[in-house]
Amino acid sequence: MHDFSDVIGQDAVKEHLLRAVESDRVSHAYLLIGENGMGKEEIADAFAKMLLCEKNPLHPCGVCHACVQVDAGTHPDAVHVTHEKPNSIGVDEVRDQLAAEIMIRPFSGKRRIFIVPDAEKMTQQAQNALLKTIEEPPDYAVILLLTESEEALLETVRSRCVKLKFRPVPKEVLTRALMERFGVSRGEAVLAAEFARGVAGRAKEMVLSVEFRQRCEETLSLLFSLPEEGAEKIPGDISKIEEWYPDLMDFLDFVRMYFRDLLLLKSDPRSKNVIFAGNEERLIQASRDLSPERAGKALEETERTVDRLRANVNADLSLALLLEAVRMSRTKG
């Protein structure tokens, strides 16, 4: 199932691993660093398949016994270290599932691969237990530590791993991939790529969710109607926004994109570069009574809101100031 092409972007990581297999210089320990949703698990599984496929290591066949077992999560030489407590990987878990297990020679292939998701959750003791193993690993062993935060790992552990950093996927690349793979419109793909900040897994979830599209629609309507409403409607709007956006930074991105489109259409009503594609008519209409100067102020207010939220200023208050600036950005009629 998993193969490098399933993961959007991360070309440098893929390239590095491919070259290691090709030149038969696979390291014993890798640290895969990146936000969840960037494809660390998928890459780790695909790499395990490359190392275990009976036919073609560079392009795992997907049909041999080894590939099928890796995909099913049942290959005895592809071990996923699991943990019982949600927030910590204990020393016993590392000892049993990794340190002791790794001494067993491969069952079928030439290698045994150990994948440790959320490696930063290893306790200090657990990391020390791991350290002994990665200092002198058996020649057939490959350990993949997956983590969001490299800093949570002991320097002694980190320094023995080849570090592979996952990067946010450039927005244009992500947008195109979302359109091609999921058949969504450019507008939806652009929005999801923007909100996901380059994390492909998050963007994918968005474009596949009905709520996402509905929420975009509702947010846009709310912003459109602000200038026509009195300031007394703002508290109600704030409640909605807080309900729709558990992470208010996403809403702030939305506001930025909204003004970007309005300013773009004000200078060129025929532009084909609109993010909120499909809403051109409404946007052009709104751009007509937009004051560029006040739009600029609203955008500055958006940046101040980012600072306020980061400084833990009351969210209601921060949003009230922002929505007032949005409301004033268009001189209605």
Task: Provide the binding-site residues for Zn ion, judged by CB under 5 A.
Answer: 53, 55, 60-61, 64, 67
User: To the nearest whole angstrom, how small is the minimum distance from the Cβ of residue 25 to Zn ion?
Assistant: 21
Q: What is the DSSP string of 127-138?
A: HHHHHHHHHS--
**DSSP code string of 64-77:** SHHHHHHHHT--TT
In the complex with Zn ion, the residue whose CB is nearer, 38 or 67, is 67
Kindly state the tokens that stand for 247.
Answer: 């992470």
Nearer to Zn ion, 76 or 296 (CB): 76
Strand partners, 113: 78, 142
Nearer to Zn ion, 26 or 53 (CB): 53
Distance, CA of 227 to CA of 153 (rounded, Å): 51
Q: Which is nearer to Zn ion, 52 or 122 (CB)?
A: 52
State which residue, 18 or 249, has the beta carbon closest to Zn ion.
Answer: 18
Angle of CA points 221, 225, 228, to nearest 5° = 170
Strand order in the sheet with 78-80: 78-80, 112-116, 141-147, 29-33, 162-165
In whole angstroms, the minimum distance from the beta carbon of 8 to Zn ion comes to 23
Residues 216 and 191: beta-carbon distance below 8 Å: yes
Query: Which is nearer to Zn ion, 57 or 198 (by Cβ)?
Result: 57
Ordered alpha helix ranges (H), the chain: 11-22, 40-52, 65-72, 91-94, 124-135, 155-158, 171-182, 186-195, 200-207, 210-225, 234-244, 248-267, 280-288, 292-310, 315-327
Residue 55 CB, nearest approach to Zn ion (Å): 5
Shortest approach of Zn ion to residue 181 CB, angstroms?
Answer: 24
Q: How far is the CB of 14 from Zn ion (least distance, A)?
A: 18
Q: How far apart are CA 136 and CA 91, in angstroms?
A: 18
Least separation, in Å, of the C-beta of 45 and Zn ion?
13
Nearer to Zn ion, 60 or 198 (CB): 60
How far is residue 324's CA from residue 316's CA, in Å, rounded to a whole number?
12
Q: How far is the CB of 115 from Zn ion (least distance, A)?
A: 18
